[in-house]
Amino acid sequence: MSCLYAFLTMIVGDEFAIILPNDSVLEIEQYIHNVQIKMGRVDENSPIFPIHKSIGYAYSDSSYGIMEQLLNEADA
């Protein structure tokens, strides 16, 4: 995975976005898969307080001028 830089930002309330610049769709899908596995392990070790999550993504070669569109696509 080429994810040398990742940017985490809170969108609103308990919604977050992770920006992975310069990664391919395949790399992003693998990243999401790894996050789901790791969050599942947290749930297994803490069944009293499970983490409720929804994960979506959007991909573009460039986000210039379309960031809102990409966030909406990832949230759909």
13-28 b/e with 16+ CB inside 10 Å = b?
eeeebbebeebeeeeb
For residue range 17-49, list pLDDT tens digits in order.
988 888 999 999 999 999 889 888 887 777 787
Residue ranges of the domains in the chain? 7-75
Q: What is the pTM of this model?
A: 0.76
Confidence of residue 2 (pLDDT cuts 50, 70, 90): low
Helix (H) / strand (E) element for 31: namely helix 25-45
